[in-house]
């Protein structure tokens, strides 16, 4: 496939992802980020099942956008678009943690975490890995959680080292995902 065909196809996918809209029954709150705004905003244990579903859905949707951007375009994780999506993912996760965060969130969690470049965001993700590992229902997935955390930390280290080494090389042609994430995650199963 020629590069112009590739760019046209990725532009089409990018446009479809940007215009993707979730249609829910009117009984559901339509804004997952504002769904829990209340006088007791610190208490997340009062999330309704529909709010949990909306936040989980928004989290997965955000991770899907991050994944497609990372795999279709040779784009650095530090770009504004990528970091805005990481921030959106964090905003979806915060109300779910610790009470409603489950191992089913591991794939979108992995995708968002590997793209974190700010120390504050990275610390947030490390704390959430600990939350996931503490739940009794996550005993079966403890190995997966530990492996994901190890991969995420290794990706962060490799990316930080590569950024501090400002030499230009051929690896810049590859996407951030292809350089750092894919080589370690090929055999990873998060489903």
Class of residue 103 by CB neighbours under 10 A (exposed 0-12, middle 13-18, buried 19+): buried
Nearest one of 147, 75, 148, 145 to 117, comparing CA atoms: 75
Q: What is the pLDDT of residues 43-61, one digit of tens each?
A: 456 788 888 888 998 999 8
CA distances from residue 88 to 7, 82, 116 in whole angstroms, order as listed: 26, 10, 12
Q: Would you call 77 helix, strand, or coil by DSSP?
A: coil
Q: What is the pLDDT of residues 94-148, one digit of tens each?
A: 999 888 888 788 899 999 999 999 999 999 999 998 888 776 655 556 778 888 8
Q: Do 94 and 55 contact (CB within 8 A), yes or no?
A: no
pTM of the predicted model as reported, rounded to 2 decimal places: 0.77
Q: How many CA atoms lie within 13 A of 110 on its CB side?
A: 24
């Amino acid at each position: 496939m020629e590069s112009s065909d590739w760019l046209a196809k990725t532009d089409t996918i990018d446009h479809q992802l940007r215009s993707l809209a979730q249609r829910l029954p009117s009984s559901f709150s339509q804004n997952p980020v504002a769904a829990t705004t209340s006088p007791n905003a610190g208490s997340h244990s009062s999330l309704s099942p529909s709010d949990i579903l909306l936040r989980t859905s928004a989290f997965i949707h955000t991770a899907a956008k991050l994944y497609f951007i990372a795999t279709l375009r040779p784009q650095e994780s530090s770009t504004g678009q990528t970091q805005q999506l990481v921030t959106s993912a964090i905003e979806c996760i915060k109300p779910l943690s610790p009470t409603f965060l489950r191992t089913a969130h591991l794939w979108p969690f992995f995708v968002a975490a590997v793209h974190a470049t700010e120390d504050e965001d990275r610390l947030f993700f490390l704390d959430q890995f600990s939350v996931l590992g503490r739940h009794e229902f996550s005993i079966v997935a403890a190995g997966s959680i530990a492996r994901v955390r190890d991969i995420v930390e290794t990706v962060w280290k490799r990316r930080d080292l590569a950024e501090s080494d400002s030499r230009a090389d051929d690896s810049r042609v590859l996407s951030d995902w292809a350089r750092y994430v894919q080589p370690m995650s090929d055999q990873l199963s998060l489903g």
